Structure 1
Amino acid sequence: MRGPRRPSGEGAMNEQRLLQHLVATLRAKGALRTEPWKEAAAAVPRHEFLRGGFFRAVPGTEPTAWTSVRPDSGEWLPACYLDESLVTQIAGTVRPADIRGEIMREPTSSSTLPSLVLRMFEDLEVEPGMKMLEIGTGTGYSTALACRRLGSENVTSIEYDADVAQSAREALGRLDLYPTLLTGDGLLGAAELGPYDRIIATCAVHTVPTSWIEQTRPGGRILTVIAGRLNASALVRLTVHGDGTASGPVLDGHVSFMPARSHAPPPLGVLPDLSAGRERGTGIGADVLADRTTRLITQFAVPAARHLKLRVGHRDEDVVIDEETGAWTALRAEGSGWIVREGGAHPLWETVEELIERWRSDGGPAVEQTTVTVTAHSQSIRW
C-alpha cells in the first residue's frame, strides 16, 4: 500500500509554511479554540484534497462565470491555503480539468473554507472515543480533520457523488487515513454502523431527517445547517432525546452550504392566477423577507414557500407561494402599510403574521437566542 506523497526540499518547506500560516489565521479568527483541533488542523495539508484543481469566479459576471485553476498554475498552491471556499465541481459532473475558458452553471461541490469547518467541529464538542457520522465527504478535507482528532476507526463519512467520493478516498489514502467511506444518500444515514455520538453535515438540509435522530444515541448531538426556499439558513446544534425528538440552539444565522442534492428547490411550476384573491391590510409586509432574522422565522412558519418578485397587472409585487399546497400571497406597499392578497388552499400569510407578531411581542430576540425543535412530524423555532 502506498503511503502519503512526501515532498522534499523547497517544495515541502513552502507547503509547510503555507499550512502553518493557515493554522495561525484560523487561530486568530477564533475558529480554533482547543488544542486537539489545533493539532488536527496542523496535521492536514489542504492541497492534497485539491489536486484536481478548483474553479474561480470571474469578477463582474452575471450570472457568475467560472474558470479553472489547475495544479500546474502558480496560483494553485497558495490559494489552497487561503481561508476560502473553493468550488471543485459544477453542474453535477464538470471538473476543473474539463474546462478551457469559462462556464456559467451552478456549483455542486466545494471545499468549504477551513475556518467554518474547524469552527463547526469545535461547536460539535466531540471527545476521544466518540463515533462520528459525517454527511457529505466532499473533497475529504473535513473527513481528514475528523480522523486526526478521533481516529479513522471512529469516523464514517457518506458522499452522494461517486466520483467525488473516489477522489476523497484517494486523497485520504495519500495521508494514510482510512475511515469508513460510503457512497449514497447521506440523508438516510448509515444505520448499520450506528448508533453515533455525533453527526455533522457539510451540506444544508430543508428539514432534519428523522433517520439522523434515530441513529444518534440519546444525549448525542447533530450539527447541521437548516436552509429553506426563502434563502434563509441557520447553523443548529441539536441534542437527541430519548423520546425520539431533538432540540437545540441556533448557533449562527449566516452560515450557508450547498443543499443536499435531494433537498435542492424543485423547478418552479406553473404559477396560479395571482390577480384574483381576497385583499386586506396588514402590518407585516414583504420587508420581513429582507431581514435575516425575520426571514428565518418566516421560513419556519411556511417551510415550503418560495419568494418571487413579479409584475402582477401594472404593479410590482412580492409573491410568496407554498409549493406543496399551492397557497399564495401577494404583497404590495400602500401608503405607510401593506396590502396582502391571498389565494389557494389556506391563508398562507396568516401563519407568518402569527409567528412574527409573537416574536415582536417577545422583544424581537436575535437569531442566536432561538431554539429549534425537531420531531418526526414537525420542525419549529422558538425563543
Structure 2
Amino acid sequence: MTSTDHDAGLDDAGLDVDAAAEPLRRALARHLADHGLLADSRWRRAVETVPRHRFVPGFYASTGRRDEQGLPVWEPVTEQIDRERWLASAYTDTTLITQFDAEEPDWDDPAPRAGGGPTSSSTLPSLVLRMWLDADLEEGHKVLEIGTGTGYSTALACERLGDYGEITSIEVDDRRLHQAANALYGIGYAVNLAVADGLYGYWPHAPYDRIVAACSLRAVPVSWLAQTRPGGKILATLSGWVYGSARVLLTTAVDGTAEGPLLPGTISFMAARAQERPAPGNPADWDALTRSAPGRPARYAPGRLDEATDEAFFGRFLAQLAAPNTQQLTSPDGDTMHLIDITTGSAATLTSGGDGYTVRQAGPLRLWDAVETAWDTWDRAGRPGPETFRMHVQPGRQSITHVGSNDLDFLLPVTEPAPTRTSYH
C-alpha cells in the first residue's frame, strides 16, 4: 500500500511542480499541526508526503460575480491557466470544487460556468484528517471508504497504514474514479477501487474494521452494519434536505445493531447522490396550499435556521430531525420562507410583517409546529451540544436520543429493507 517515487515518469515541467510543492506541503503540515491535528507523527508524514496537486488537475473558484440571470459565476483554475494560483491553492486548507451537476470538466480546456450544484470536490485537508482521526485507523485494519472523490483522502489513509492495512474505496461516478485511480496508481498506492453505490457498501472485500463515509446520508444503510465486524466502527455524516448536519461514530454489535455518540463540530459533506434533495417544484404552488390556511404568530423567526454559529448549526440539524422530509425555500427578498414536504404534501409558510412572522400550515403534518416544539425542548434543556446525543441503529429503526432526557428523541427516515444476514458475525 505504500507509495513509490512520486516523481517517477514525470517530465521536466512536472519535476519543477513537484519540487515547488514540497515546501507547500510542509507549510500545510505546520498549519494542521498548529490546530492540533498532527499529534500522531504518522499522519504528519502522510500530509508531508502525499502530493495533493496530483489529485486536483483543476478546480473552480468563485469570481464573486453573477451573470444576467443572477447565477454565481465560477472560473476554472488549472496549471496551464495559472500555475502559481493552482499549486498554492492545492496546499491551503480549503475545499476545492472539482465538479458541478455530475458533469466532469475537461481540464485540458475548461470553461467558466454559472450556477449549478457542486457534486464533487477535494475536501479541505483539516476535515479529511479529522475524519480519519475520528475513525481511529490502526495497522491491520480493513477499511472501506465511501466516496473516493479526487482520491486525496484515500492517499492519506494509504500513506498512514502503509503495508499494514487494506483500504477499499468506492465511488458512484465512474469518471471521478477513473481520475482518482490514475492519480493513486500513478503515485504507487495499492488500493482496492471500484465503481459502486456506497449506500450498499461493498460486499466483495467485507467484513471491514472501519467504514468511513465522505458523503452525507439521511440514515445509515443497514448493509454497512452487516459488512462491519462486531466491535468495528462506522463514521458517517447525517444530513437531509434542510442541510442540517451532524457526525456519528457507531460501534457495531454481534446482533447486527450499532450504537454511538454524535461528535462535536460543524462538519458537512455533499449528499450521497441517490439521497440528494429532490426538485421541490414551483414555490408559488406550495404558497397556494397555505394561502387560505389560518395564521398564527410564529414563536421563532425562520432566520434561526440560517444563523452562522456552531450552536445554530446543530439547532438546524434538530429542526431537520423534527421534520425529516422537509425542504426549505426562501423568497429572493427574504421576507417569505416555505417549509415543504413532498412526501406528504405538507407545507408551512412564514411571512414577515409588523413585529414578527406569521405562519400558515397545510397538509397532514404541521411542519413548523414540529420545528418549534423541538427548539422549545432544546432551549429548556440549555441547548445541549451534539456530544450529549446518541444514535441507535437496528434493522427498520434508527433513532437519535438525548442522554438523560426522553423529550429530545427523534426517528430518522429509514426506507431500505434489512439485508440478509451473513456469516461475518
Judge same fold: TM > 0.5, yes or no: yes
Q: Report the equivalent of 1:299.
A: 320
CA distance in 2, matches of 1:141, 1:186: 18
Count matched residues: 378
Superposition TM-score, scaled by structure 1 size: 0.89
> Which amino acid in 1 is paired with 2:101?
A
In structure 1, the gaps of 5 or more residues are none
- Secondary structure of the corresponding residue to residue 59 of structure 1: strand
Q: Which residue of the partner structure matches residue 80 of structure 1?
A: 90
Against the structure 1 CA distance between its residues 347 and 100, is the aligned structure 2 distance closer, same or farther, given a 3 Å change threshold? closer
Of 317-326 and 99-108, the range deviating more from structure 2: 99-108
Are the counterparts in 2 of residues 34 and 122 from structure 1 also a CA contact under 8 Å? no
Question: How far did 1:339 drift?
Answer: 4.2
Mapped partners of 1:22, 1:137: distance in 2: 22
CA distance in 2, matches of 1:247, 1:299: 21
- Corresponding residue SS for 1:371: strand
Deviation of 1:186 (Å): 1.0
Q: CA deviation at 1:11?
A: 4.9
Q: Quick one: distance in 2 between partners of 1:292 and 1:188? A: 29
Question: Residue 287 of structure 1: CA displacement?
Answer: 4.8
Deviation at 1:309, TM superposition (A): 2.8
- Residue 57 of structure 1 aligns with which residue? 62
Contact 1:320 1:330 in 2 (8 A): yes
Residue 79 of structure 2 aligns to a residue whose secondary structure is: coil
Residue 22 (structure 1) aligned with residue 31 (structure 2): no
Question: Deviation per CA, 1:132-154, whole angstroms, max 9, x where unpaired?
Answer: 10001111111111112224661
Give the conservation status (yes or no) of the 8 Å contact 2:264–2:385.
Answer: no
- The reply to whether residue 194 of structure 1 matches residue 206 of structure 2 is yes
SS at match of 1:224: strand
The alpha carbon displacement at 1:293 in A equals 2.8
1:382 counterpart = 2:401: yes
Alignment check: 8 A CA contact 1:32 1:119 kept: no
Distance 2:376 2:195 in 1: 45
Q: CA RMSD in A?
A: 2.6
Query: Could you tell me how far 1:367 is from its partner in structure 2?
Result: 3.3
- The letter of the residue matching 1:100 is A
In 1, Cα distance between equivalents of 2:357 and 2:220: 34
Q: What is the aligned counterpart of 2:41 among 32, 35, 38?
A: 35
Question: Which residue number corresponds to residue 326 of structure 1?
Answer: 345
Question: What TM-score, normalized by structure 2, do the two folds share?
Answer: 0.81
In the TM superposition, what whole-angstrom CA distance separates every residue of 1:171-202 from its partner, at most 9, and x where no partner exists? 11122112110102111111221111111111
Structure 2 counterpart of 1:80, one-letter code:
A
**1:135 counterpart = 2:146:** yes
Structure 2 vs 1, CA of residues 57 and 284 (structure 1 numbering), >3 Å: closer, same or farther? closer
Match of 1:275 in 2: 291
Taking the TM superposition and a 5 Å limit, the aligned residue runs for 1:245-260 are 245-260=257-272
1: CA distance, partners of 2:247 / 2:262: 6
Q: Which of 195, 200, 215 does residue 183 from structure 1 map onto?
A: 195
Q: Displacement of 1:225 after TM fit?
A: 1.6
Contact 1:276 / 1:343 at 8 angstroms: preserved in 2?
no
1:366 and 2:385 matched: yes
- State the 1:242 CA deviation: 3.4
Give the 3 Å change call, closer, same or farther, for CA 244–282 of structure 1 in structure 2: farther
Cα deviation code 1:214-264 (max 9, x no counterpart): 212222211122121112112222222334333322224521222111111
2: CA distance between counterparts of 1:16 and 1:296?
A: 40
1:66 equivalenced with 2:77 (yes/no): no
Per-residue CA shift, 1:320-367, capped at 9, x if unaligned?
112211122223467667543222123333433433332223222123
Query: Within the alignment, does 1:89 sit opposite 2:99 as a pair?
Result: yes
Give a deviation string over 1:71-115, Cα, whole Å, max 9, x none: 233222222111111122223123133423444332221111111
- In the TM superposition, what is the alpha-carbon distance from 1:10 to its structure 2 partner? 5.7
Residue 126 of structure 1: aligned partner: 137
Alpha-carbon distance in 2 for matches of 1:372, 1:295: 17
The one-letter code matched in structure 2 to 1:293 is: F
Q: Is the 8 A contact 1:278 1:343 kept in 2?
A: no
* Distance in 2 (alpha carbons) for counterparts of 1:104 and 1:306: 20
Distance in 2 between residues matched to 1:335 and 1:55, nearest whole Å: 42
Quick check: 1:329–1:341 contact (8 Å CA) kept in 2? Answer: yes
Q: Give the unaligned 5+ runs of structure 2.
A: 307-311, 403-425
* Stretch moving more, 112-121 or 274-283: 274-283
Indicate yes or no: 2:354 matched with 1:349.
no
The answer to which of 196-205 and 75-84 deviates more is 75-84
Find the residue that maps to 1:364 and give its secondary structure: coil
Aligned-partner Cα distance in 2 for 1:287–1:12? 46
Q: Does structure 1 conserve the Cα–Cα contact (< 8 Å) formed by 2:351 and 2:358?
A: yes
% identical equivalent positions = 38
Contact kept? 1:233, 1:253, Cα under 8 Å: no
Given that 1:281 and 1:340 are in contact with CA atoms closer than 8 Å, whether structure 2 keeps it comes out as yes
CA drift at 1:20 = 1.2
Q: Using the alignment, how far apart are the partners of 1:336 and 1:379 within structure 2?
A: 40
Q: Which residue of 1 aligns with 2:252?
A: 240
Letter in 1 for 2:7: R
* Contact preservation (8 Å) 1:331, 1:340: yes
